[in-house]
Each structure stands twice: as C-alpha cells, then as structure tokens.
Structure 1
Amino acid sequence: MDSIQMKKRLEKRLKTSDRRITFNKKEDKLRIEDIHTEKGITLSLPGVISRYENNQDKGIDEVVYYVDEALKVMQNTQQLKGKEDAIYPVIRSTSFPTETGDGKQLLYKDHTAETRIFYAVDLDQSYRLIDHALMEEEGLHERIVDEMARFNLRSLPFEAKKDVVAGNTFFFVNYNDGYDASRILNPVFLDQMRQRVTGEMAVAVPHQDVLIVADIQNNQGYDILGQMTMNFFSNGYIPITSLPFIYEDEQLEPIFILAKNKPKNE
C-alpha cells in the first residue's frame, strides 16, 4: 500500500463535518484538525503503512482510535483539582516534543539518556499530558505533581507474564492501561524483580504498552532481548526506545546489543 492509498483510506475513516484534513505530499504527512479548536494530530503516513503491514486492519483501527481520542481531549478544558488520584507519570523518548502544538510547555523531567518522564491526568479512555500553564492555574508545583504521580503509580498492579527462551527468562508487564512502561518508575516492582532474577537483570520499555524484564543467563539472552526489544519498538503504539537497560545498584544504564556478544555500556 502506498501513501496515496493510505491517505484515502484514513480520510474515509476520519472525515467528519467538524474536521479539516490536509495532506502534505512533500513530507508524506496527513493532518487532522478540529475546525472549532483548530487543534489536531499529524500522522506520518510511512509509519501508518508500517503498522498496517504488520497488523493489517488492526493497525489502522488503532491509529483511528488514537486520533479520535486525542481530538476529544483537545475539545475539553481539563482540571487537576479533584483528580489528584488520576495523575500518573508516563515514559517517553527524549525526542518526544516538550511543548504542545499551540506552544504550551509540557511538564517533564529527565529519566535516563534515552527517556524522559512526562505527567498525565487520566481520562478513562485517554489522558492529557500536563503542561506548565495547567499546573500553574491549579496552584500546583512540579514536585507535588511528581509525588502525586509516583504515589498513584504504586497503586497499579504489576504482575508479569513469564517466558523462557534458551535458558533466559523474560517477564512481560502488559495491562494496556497506558502506563505499562511507566512501571519502570516503581521501585517496589524493580526490587521484587531483582529478587527473582538470578543472572544479570535487564529492563526494556520499547513502547508505551509493554515493560520487559530479562533474567540474562548467557550471551544468547542478550541477542534475544535485542531482537525482542526492536520488534516491540517497531510495532508499538507509542514507541519509546529500542535500547534495553542494565539494572544494577538501582540504576538504569542503556546498552547496545551486538549479535553474539555481551553488550557494552553506551
């Protein structure tokens, strides 16, 4: 499927009387805007085509759902007061935009060389990232938002499914609640996994809806983890990083994995 075919398919699914859809042929992007708020979402068509090739119609369904929910959020003015228990941290890549389309600075803090922590107010079927203007309107401080978000995160379940490959054990957290990757910020979870791991512990957050913990017992385990992380990263709803982390002394260090070799720190 080429970009023109995907453009027509998306227009058919997304076009309404309240939306304006424009196509940037040079950049191969499709822009969907709400005509009332003049806010919208820009889709990279090669990325959508890749999702379609990997997941067929399900991939397009996910993109359409993302656009619909995002535009709904943009229509509403959100408040934080009274929703303190619905504020959570969300992990994003360091390349993720730090301001909204209308120029508002998002609230975030550095996490690792590959990731940053943003903050969101949960809206059941979606969430809104918190910007400085919203925080200041509510009379809150960055430290308070961070503390509330981390406290709420600890209330989320974190049971992991297990798979053993070539003598290496891989644990997967996948609740699809929007905060799977965020569980990497839960020290209780990391401590419990550290106690279960008998080899070297590696952690990966390839996209928003999965967290992988690996119990590496041999060099083949690194190869498997590298391939697994890249696959998840390529097919994820909101990609974060294709680099796993070694977890040691309560620290996360990004690693490059070279085939058939134990990785060296970045």
Structure 2
Amino acid sequence: MNSKKMVELMKEKLRNEPFTYHYDRKKDTLRIEDPNVEKGVTISIPNLIAKCEEKKEKALEEFVYYIKESLYAMKENHELSGKEKRIFPVIRSTSFPIETSDGIPLIYDEHTAETRIFYALDLGKTYRLIDKHLLEKEQWSPQHLKEMALFNLRSLETVIKEDHVAGNDFYFIRSNDGYDASRILNESLLQQFQKKITGDMVVAVPHQDVLIIADIQNETGYDVLAQLTMSFFASGRVPITALSFIYENNELEPIFILAHNRKKQD
C-alpha cells in the first residue's frame, strides 16, 4: 500500500468525526486536527504502513482508537489537584517533541542517550502529557511532579513472563497498563533482577508497552535479544528505541548488538 491510499483509508475510518486533515508529502506525515480545539496529532504514514503490513487490520484499529481518544482528551480542561495518584512517568525517544503543538514546553527529564522521561496525567483510555502551563497552574515544582510520578509507578502491579533460549533468560514485563516501559525507572525492580542475574544484565524498551530484562550468558543471547527488540520496536504503537542497555552500577548504558558482538555506544 502506498501513502496516498493509506491517507484515504484513514480518512474513511474517521469519516464520522469532525476532523480536518493535512498531508505533508515532503515529510510523509498526516496531521489530523479537531477544529473545535485547534489541536491535533501527527502520524508518520510509512510507520503506519509498516505496522499494517505486520498486524493487518488490528494495527489500523489501534491507530484510529489512539487518534480519537487523543483528540477527545484535548477538548477537556484538565487539573492535576485531586488526581495526584493518576500521574505517571512515560518513556519516549529523544526524537519525541519537547513541546506541544501550541509551542508550550512539556515537562521532561533526560534519561539516557536514547530516551527521555515525560510526565502524564492518566485519563483512563488515554493520557495527557503535562506541560509547563499545567504545572504552573497548580503551582507545583518539577521535582514535586517527578517524586509523585515515580511513587505512583512503584505502586503499580508488575506482571512478568519468562522465556529461556540457549542458556539465556528473558523476562518480559507486559502489564498492559500503558506504563510497562516506564518501569525501567523503578530502581528497586532493576536491583531485584540484578541480584539474581548471573550473566550480563541487559534491559530494553523497544516500545511503551513492554520492558525486557535479560540475563545474557553467551553471544546467542545477544543475537536473540537484538531480534526481539527490533521486532517489538517495529510493531509497537509508540516505538521508543531498538537499542538495548547494559545495567551496571545502577546505570544504563546503550549498546549496539551487531554480528555476534556488542559495542557500547559512543
């Protein structure tokens, strides 16, 4: 499927919604806005096509759902007070925008060379990233927001599935609550794994709905992890990074995994 057909398909799926559309041929992106609030979301068409080729109709349904919920959420005037327990950190790639479409700075912290930490108000089916204006409205400091979000993150239930390949152990955290990748910020969780891991502890957040922790014992383990992260990265609705991270001395360092070798990123 080419970009033109995908744009028309998206418009058809959203035909009953009062949205406007702008296709940028140069960037190959589709901007979808709600004229009632003059805000919107931008979709990478090649990314959407790739996901549809892999997940077929399900991928398109997920994107349509994400668009509708995101634009509906933009209509509401949100407050943080009284909703403190619904504030969480979210991990995004360093290419993710650091301001809203209106030019308002989002609240974020640096994390690794590949990732940043943003903060979100959970709205149930979707969430709103917290920006400078919203924080100033509540008269909260960024540090207060961060401490609150990390506390809430630690309170979430953690669902872990295991797999074992060629002497290597792989742990998948997929609780389906929208904050699986965020659990990479839970230091106590990482340290618990570190105590039982006997090989190299490698961590990956290919998209927002999975955290992979691996006990790598041999080169085959690195090859398997590279394939896993790339597969998850390509299929995730909100991809983050296909790189993995060595966890040593309570620090995360990105690594490249290439042809039976691992190299730390410069």
Partner Cα distance (1:19, 1:162) in 2? 43
**Deviation digits for residues 135-180 of structure 1 (CA, Å, limit 9, x no counterpart):** 0001100000000000000001123100011111100001121100
Call closer, same or farther: CA 1:20–1:249 in 2, change over 3 Å.
Answer: same
Matches within 5 A, 1:166-185: 166-185=166-185
**Deviation digits for residues 197-254 of structure 1 (CA, Å, limit 9, x no counterpart):** 1111000001100000000000111111112111111111111111100001111010
How high is the sequence identity, in percent, across the aligned residues? 54
Partner Cα distance (2:173, 2:134) in 1? 31
CA contact (8 A) 1:107 1:132 kept: yes
Q: Which amino acid in structure 1 is aligned with residue 219 of structure 2?
A: N
Partner Cα distance (1:17, 1:32) in 2? 11
Partner Cα distance (1:259, 1:224) in 2? 11
Partner Cα distance (1:265, 1:103) in 2? 32
Matches within 5 A, 1:214-229: 214-229=214-229
Q: Which amino acid in structure 2 is aligned with residue 52 of structure 1?
A: C
Residue in structure 2 matched with residue 36 of structure 1 by the alignment: 36
Q: Which amino acid in structure 1 is aligned with residue 12 of structure 2?
A: K
CA contact (8 A) 1:255 1:263 kept: yes
Partner Cα distance (1:43, 1:113) in 2? 24
Q: How many residues align?
A: 266
Partner Cα distance (1:253, 1:17) in 2? 44
Partner Cα distance (1:81, 1:177) in 2? 22
Q: Which amino acid in structure 2 is aligned with residue 164 of structure 1?
A: H
TM-score of the aligned structures, taking structure 1 as reference length: 0.97
Deviation, structure 1 residue 17: 5.2
Residue in structure 1 matched with residue 79 of structure 2 by the alignment: 79
Residue in structure 2 matched with residue 109 of structure 1 by the alignment: 109
CA RMSD of aligned residues (A): 1.2
CA contact (8 A) 1:178 1:208 kept: yes
Matches within 5 A, 1:132-171: 132-171=132-171
Q: Which amino acid in structure 2 is aligned with residue 159 of structure 1?
A: V
Structure 1, unaligned runs of 5 or more: none
Residue 90 of structure 1: SS of its match in structure 2?
Answer: strand
Q: Which amino acid in structure 2 is aligned with residue 138 of structure 1?
A: E
Q: Does 1:195 align with 2:207?
A: no
Partner Cα distance (2:193, 2:131) in 1? 33
Residue in structure 1 matched with residue 8 of structure 2 by the alignment: 8
Partner Cα distance (2:262, 2:205) in 1? 20
Residue 98 of structure 1: SS of its match in structure 2?
Answer: coil
CA contact (8 A) 1:91 1:118 kept: yes
Partner Cα distance (1:161, 1:17) in 2? 39
Deviation, structure 1 residue 193: 1.0
Q: Which amino acid in structure 2 is aligned with residue 88 of structure 1?
A: F
Deviation, structure 1 residue 101: 0.2
TM-score of the aligned structures, taking structure 2 as reference length: 0.97
Partner Cα distance (1:265, 1:216) in 2? 18
Partner Cα distance (1:99, 1:262) in 2? 35
